[in-house]
Each structure stands twice: as structure tokens, then as C-alpha cells.
Amino acid sequence: MDEGAAAISVSNHGGRQLDGVPFSLRALPEVVEAVQGRIEVLMDGGIRRGTDIAKALCIGARAVLCGRAYAYGLAAAGEAGVDRAIEILRVDLERTLRLLGCPSIAELDHSYVNVPKTWEVS
Ligand SMILES: Cc1cc2nc3c(=O)[nH]c(=O)nc-3n(C[C@H](O)[C@H](O)[C@H](O)COP(=O)(O)O)c2cc1C
């Protein structure tokens, strides 16, 4: 932020580089707390389902990114497979919102998740 970044991405590079590092969702609360809404916080790592997206947004991410989920679609069916992978995530996120009784993505917040006490920043 001091260098003028407009956003920060919380990522462990898909867990491919150092094993044993915290997973991205686990690190997210601390980063959100430190940023205090001054810049956007994005997150990637382990996004496979709509519930994964919803959890990250509830904890304070503005958006998520994904690597393998779309790459699997790409490997299976090229561009159409990427479209399908994105569609699966979109439909699953909408289903998750309905199951939560949450009217919109913008209204996802902490009230929809139980963040373990040990994750909270003191
Ligand atoms: C095949 C592959 C290559 C990657 N290469 C890099 C890389 O060179 N540098 C980097 O910072 N992250 C790299 N990543 C991590 C992605 O940028 C991204 O953080 C990660 O894939 C997100 O997690 P996900 O795959 O669970 O969605 C790579 C991921 C994959 C699957």
C-alpha cells in the first residue's frame, strides 16, 4: 500500500512452491484486517466450488482468482472447457447464495461463516 498498490492478492501460489505454508483462506483474515479497506484484497488457491468463492468473499476478499479449475477445463475441452468451468463455478456460487438465503454477492459477509477463533486477529 505504501508503494501505491491498488490491490493485493493473497496467494500461496497454489501450494506448489513451499509445502507447509498456510493455505490462502487461513491467511486472508489477517490481511483483510491489516488492509482496513484501503485497497482491494483478492485471493487464490483452492477455488474449486461455489462455496469456496463464497467463503473467501465472506471473510473479506473482493474477488477470487483460480488456476487449476479453469486449466482442467482447458485440458478437457479447450476454450469450451474453460467456458464450462467458469459456468460451473458461477452456477454453484448462485446455488450457494440461495442455500444461505443471501440475496446477492455484495451482501456476503462474516455473518454467513464461522471463522475459527484461532484464525482471528487479536
Ligand atoms: C501449472 C501451474 C503453474 C503455475 N506457475 C506459477 C508461477 O510461475 N508463479 C506463480 O507465482 N504462481 C504460479 N502458479 C500459481 C497460480 O498463479 C495460482 O496462484 C494458483 O494456481 C491458484 O491456485 P489454484 O490452482 O488452486 O486455483 C501456477 C499454478 C499452476 C497450476
pLDDT in tens, 68-100: 999 999 999 999 999 999 999 999 999 999 999
* Predicted local confidence at residue 16, as pLDDT: 81
Residues lower than pLDDT 70 in the chain? 122
* Predicted local confidence at residue 5, as pLDDT: 96
Minimal-distance CA residue to ligand 1 atom 9? 13
Q: Which of 13, 16, 95, 98 is catalytic?
A: 13
* Predicted local confidence at residue 119, as pLDDT: 84
* Predicted local confidence at residue 122, as pLDDT: 64
Q: What are the boundaries of each domain within the chain?
A: 7-111
* Predicted local confidence at residue 20, as pLDDT: 85
Identify the residues whose C-beta falls under 6 Å from ligand 1: 11, 13-14, 16, 44-47, 66-69, 71
13 counts as catalytic: yes
Please state the φ and ψ torsions of residue 33, each to the nearest 5 degrees. -65, -40
Minimal-distance CA residue to ligand 1 atom 4? 13
* Predicted local confidence at residue 40, as pLDDT: 97
Distance 104 CA to ligand 1 centre (A): 29
* Backbone region of residue 4 per phi and psi (left: phi > 0; alpha: psi in -120 to 50; beta: other values): left
* Predicted local confidence at residue 24, as pLDDT: 95
Minimal-distance CA residue to ligand 1 atom 19? 13
pTM of this structure: 0.93
* Predicted local confidence at residue 19, as pLDDT: 81
